[in-house]
């Protein structure tokens, strides 16, 4: 069964600290893995997209890693800011070309406190 699991479910950190969010998946055939940030009351916004051959990708203070062998991904946030408070959703695309199917994780809710 195709599945995406994220941990932790929620996280509270102090401003300026780093944190790492985890995503484990059992999806086949794997096409790509994305991390989205969703602010309260807004739609998800793409942070990174990684294909099978990519093992790291950065977007500012966000760095995603992918281990296709262990089927794990992480999202590392450096020097957190209050604006990083949001839900972070891991999405894995199964299939190929224009017929892929998206499998969504339940998200990790991050709260950054001053």
Please give the residue ranges that form the binding site for other proteins (CB under 8 A): 31-32, 41-46, 49, 89, 91, 93, 95-102, 104-107
The vertex-91 CA angle with 54 and 15, nearest 5°, equals: 85
* Cα–Cα nearest to 81, from 114, 107, 58, 108: 114
In whole angstroms, the minimum distance from the beta carbon of 12 to other proteins comes to 19
Residue 15 or residue 102: which is nearer to other proteins going by CB?
102
CA 14 – CA 18 distance, rounded (Å): 9
Residue 36 or residue 65: which is nearer to other proteins going by CB?
36
CA 87 – CA 104 distance, rounded (Å): 13
In whole angstroms, the minimum distance from the beta carbon of 42 to other proteins comes to 5
Residue 31 or residue 65: which is nearer to other proteins going by CB?
31
In whole angstroms, the minimum distance from the beta carbon of 86 to other proteins comes to 13
CA 7 – CA 110 distance, rounded (Å): 11
């Amino acid at each position: 069964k195709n599945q995406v699991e994220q941990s932790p479910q929620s996280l509270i950190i102090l401003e300026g600290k780093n944190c790492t969010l985890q995503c484990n998946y059992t999806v086949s055939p794997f096409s790509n893995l994305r991390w989205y940030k969703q602010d309260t009351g807004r739609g998800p916004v793409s942070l990174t997209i990684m294909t099978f051959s990519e093992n790291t990708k950065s977007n500012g203070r966000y760095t995603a890693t992918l281990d296709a062998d262990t089927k794990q991904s992480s999202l590392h946030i450096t020097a957190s800011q209050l604006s990083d408070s949001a839900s972070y959703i891991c999405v894995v695309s199964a299939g190929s070309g224009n017929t892929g199917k998206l499998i969504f994780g339940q998200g990790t809710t991050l709260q950054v406190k001053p």
